């Protein structure tokens, strides 16, 4: 297996929820297709009189509920996930509305209601397929098949991966990473930073600017979530809870149970924003987008953490996310929720320990404890919506992250008998053994026993 070569900004991406495969990648597809269209010879562009968009696989099965139609529409109109307004998708709620697409020299009318939710089972090489066709009468002027391959990544035939450098300190496991730290007398965040520079060619200032923007988006999601009340979109009719919980925490001056309520409220808030289709950070996925923001918010607002501590803690958390992605998975469809909320909780616990000034061993122990106690967690979203159990599960993941940090930081480090590599190995094996029904199919567990939606 090659060493970890994932970039920070591939793991933590900004974009509208509730599911990166259903919103972030389709939005990019709409944007890139329009860019291609504008490169066509002028004569062809002027002939164009129709745009046909077909969706396949789970984009067809659950795309409507997950906002795929709205995401593609916003991409066609020039919005990109990482720079768009947090509530951008709400502009496109009315699927009967017509929009003018800019073909450079010509406007083409398109209505999101004309998008075709095609076959769920099909012959294309990836489940989540989108086909964009620009036509003049029955003639095809331009066609591109896009694949949403998970985590917001978009692929198409002939796509060339951007050139990447080799990591300065190659590692595949925590043991190897630890060896580099020891041999080079480095700290964990320094190593992750050095690798990011080598892999992406970015300099330190650019990386920190990117990290600060990620933190800003996380905080914005929490802030908006704790101020918003009402019912979440979709047929379940689920009420938002974050604002109520936050008010209670405030009434208790964030002390004692009030502190735990605040932690819960922050995780619920960012998850509710995700469920609403507002912008979040995939940390490491949209479904688990509430855990790390809750810990960041607690650190900044209640524990006095400084910007540098947050940056360094985030880099430590990213190391944990890389290892989980590399040696197991961060996809509920592959290993169940242990790979989403479980990994988020392990990352958040490492963030907390590192930002509080603990060194490597406590940070690793904190991540391991959080991971260990999520092993076997299944993915069974009710009705296919990232709401039940996902939203409360994020709150549980944040509280477990905090508790794992407490256990790791208050006991003698040497008491810990399980290392992180072992916990990740167990997660991968458990994921392989887990019945397919419990891996984002909504065919078992709560998704089966809660049937009213
Ligand atoms: S239950 Fe499934 S969809 Fe929900 S957060 Fe967990 S992995 Fe994601």
Determine whether the shortest distance from the Cβ of 339 to ligand 1 is under 6 A: no
What is the domain range of residue 385? 203-449
Determine whether the shortest distance from the Cβ of 393 to ligand 1 is under 6 A: yes
Asked if residue 114 and residue 218 are part of one domain, the reply reads: no
User: Which of 122, 156, 190 is the endpoint of a domain?
Assistant: 156
Q: Could you read off the pLDDT of 294-321 as tens digits, one per residue?
A: 999 999 999 999 999 999 999 999 999 9
Instruction: For 242-342, list the strands marked E by DSSP.
Output: 279-281
- Contact at 8 Å (CB) between 48 and 141? yes
Determine whether the shortest distance from the Cβ of 341 to ligand 1 is under 6 A: yes
Asked if residue 290 and residue 363 are part of one domain, the reply reads: yes
Strand, helix or coil for residue 58: helix
Residue 14 in this model has a pLDDT that exceeds 80:
yes
* pLDDT score, position 254: 98
Asked if residue 440 and residue 307 are part of one domain, the reply reads: yes
Q: 54 - beta bridge partners? A: 116, 131
* pLDDT score, position 452: 54
Handedness of CA 271, 273, 277, 278 (dihedral sign): negative
Asked if residue 302 and residue 238 are part of one domain, the reply reads: yes
Residue 453 in this model has a pLDDT that exceeds 70:
no
412 C-beta neighbours (distance < 10 Å), count: 6
Nearest CA to ligand 1 atom 1: 379
Does residue 176 fall inside a structural domain? no
Nearest CA to ligand 1 atom 8: 287
* pLDDT score, position 65: 79
Determine whether the shortest distance from the Cβ of 390 to ligand 1 is under 6 A: yes
Q: Could you read off the pLDDT of 239-288 as tens digits, one per residue?
A: 999 999 999 999 999 999 999 999 999 999 999 999 999 999 999 999 99
Asked if residue 261 and residue 347 are part of one domain, the reply reads: yes
Q: Which residue matches tokens 């969706």? A: 55
Determine whether the shortest distance from the Cβ of 277 to ligand 1 is under 6 A: no
Q: Could you read off the pLDDT of 402-447 as tens digits, one per residue?
A: 999 999 999 888 888 999 999 999 999 999 999 988 987 778 899 8
Asked if residue 223 and residue 146 are part of one domain, the reply reads: no
Asked if residue 235 and residue 138 are part of one domain, the reply reads: no
Asked if residue 151 and residue 231 are part of one domain, the reply reads: no
Determine whether the shortest distance from the Cβ of 334 to ligand 1 is under 6 A: no
Q: In ligand 1, which atom is closest to the CA atom of 339?
A: 7
Strand, helix or coil for residue 393: helix
Q: How far is the CA of 380 from the centre of ligand 1 (A)?
A: 7
Strand, helix or coil for residue 435: coil
H helix intervals, 276-306 = 291-302
Does residue 185 fall inside a structural domain? no
Residue 119 in this model has a pLDDT that exceeds 60:
yes
Does residue 57 fall inside a structural domain? yes
User: Which of 128, 156, 184 is the endpoint of a domain?
Assistant: 156
Structural domain count, the chain = 2
The whole-number average pLDDT for the span 20-43 is 96
Q: How far is the CA of 287 from the centre of ligand 1 (A)?
A: 5
Residue 112 in this model has a pLDDT that exceeds 70:
yes
Rounded CA-CA distance 320/130 in Å is 33
Rounded CA-CA distance 236/20 in Å is 21
Q: How far is the CA of 99 from the centre of ligand 1 (A)?
A: 34
- pLDDT band for position 400 (50/70/90)? very high
Asked if residue 243 and residue 143 are part of one domain, the reply reads: no
* pLDDT score, position 444: 85
User: Which of 127, 156, 185 is the endpoint of a domain?
Assistant: 156
Q: Could you read off the pLDDT of 132-171 as tens digits, one per residue?
A: 999 999 999 999 999 998 778 899 988 988 889 999 999 9
Candidates 329, 335, 340: which one to mutate for ligand 1, based on the most atoms within 8 Å of Cβ?
340
Asked if residue 286 and residue 138 are part of one domain, the reply reads: no
Does residue 167 fall inside a structural domain? no
User: What average pLDDT does the chain have?
Assistant: 94
Asked if residue 292 and residue 149 are part of one domain, the reply reads: no
- CB half-sphere exposure, 13, CA atoms < 13 A: 24
Q: How far is the CA of 381 from the centre of ligand 1 (A)?
A: 6
Does residue 112 fall inside a structural domain? yes
- Contact at 8 Å (CB) between 370 and 343? no
Determine whether the shortest distance from the Cβ of 217 to ligand 1 is under 6 A: no
Q: Name the residue with higher pLDDT: 234 or 378.
A: 378
The whole-number average pLDDT for the span 344-360 is 97
CATH number at residue 100: 3.30.1330.90
Asked if residue 214 and residue 129 are part of one domain, the reply reads: no
Does residue 161 fall inside a structural domain? no
- The pairing of beta strand 116-117 with beta strand 50-55: parallel
Q: Which residue matches tokens 């006095």? A: 304
Burial degree of 396 (CB within 10 A; 0-12, 13-18, 19+): middle
Does residue 191 fall inside a structural domain? no
* pLDDT score, position 146: 97
Does residue 177 fall inside a structural domain? no
């Amino acid at each position: 297996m090659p060493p970890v070569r994932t970039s920070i900004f591939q793991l933590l991406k900004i974009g509208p929820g509730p599911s990166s495969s259903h919103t972030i990648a389709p939005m990019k597809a709409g944007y890139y297709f329009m860019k291609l269209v504008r490169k066509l010879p002028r004569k062809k562009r002027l002939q164009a009189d129709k745009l046909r968009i077909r969706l396949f696989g789970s984009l067809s099965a659950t795309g409507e509920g997950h906002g795929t139609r709205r995401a593609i529409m916003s991409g066609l109109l020039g919005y990109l996930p990482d720079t768009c307004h947090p509530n951008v998708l709400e502009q496109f709620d009315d699927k009967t509305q017509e929009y003018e697409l800019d073909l450079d020299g010509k406007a083409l009318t398109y209505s999101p209601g004309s998008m075709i939710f095609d076959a769920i089972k099909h012959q294309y090489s990836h489940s989540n397929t989108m086909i964009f066709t620009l036509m003049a009468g029955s003639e095809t002027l331009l066609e591109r098949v896009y694949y949403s391959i998970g985590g917001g990544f978009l692929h198409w035939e002939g796509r060339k991966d951007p050139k990447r450098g080799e990591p300065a300190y190659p590692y595949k496991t925590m043991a190897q990473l630890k060896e580099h730290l020891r041999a080079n007398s480095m700290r964990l965040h320094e190593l992750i930073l050095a690798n990011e520079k080598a892999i992406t060619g970015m300099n330190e200032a650019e990386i920190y600017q990117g990290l600060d923007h990620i933190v800003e988006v996380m905080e914005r999601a929490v802030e908006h979530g704790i101020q918003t009340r009402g019912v979440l979109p979709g047929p379940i009719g689920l009420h938002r809870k974050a604002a109520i919980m936050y008010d209670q925490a405030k009434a208790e001056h964030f002390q004692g149970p009030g502190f735990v309520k605040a932690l819960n409220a922050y995780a619920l808030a960012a998850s509710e924003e995700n469920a609403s289709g507002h912008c979040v950070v995939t940390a490491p996925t949209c479904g688990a987008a509430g855990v790390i923001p809750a810990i960041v918010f607690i650190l900044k607002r209640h524990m006095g953490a400084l910007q540098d501590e947050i940056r360094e803690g985030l880099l430590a958390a990213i190391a944990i996310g890389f290892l989980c992605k590399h040696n197991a998975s961060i996809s509920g469809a592959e290993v169940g929720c242990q790979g989403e909320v479980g990994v988020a909780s392990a990352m958040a616990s490492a963030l907390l320990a590192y930002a509080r000034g603990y060194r490597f061993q406590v940070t690793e122990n904190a991540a391991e404890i959080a991971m260990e106690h999520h092993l076997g967690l299944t993915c069974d979203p009710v009705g296919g919506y990232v709401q039940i159990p996902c939203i409360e599960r994020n709150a549980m993941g944040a509280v477990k992250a905090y508790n794992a940090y407490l256990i790791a930081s208050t006991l003698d480090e040497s008491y810990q008998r399980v290392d992180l590599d072992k916990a990740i190995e167990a997660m991968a094996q458990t994921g392989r053994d887990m019945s397919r029904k419990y891996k984002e199919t909504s065919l078992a567990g709560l998704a089966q026993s809660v049937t009213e939606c």
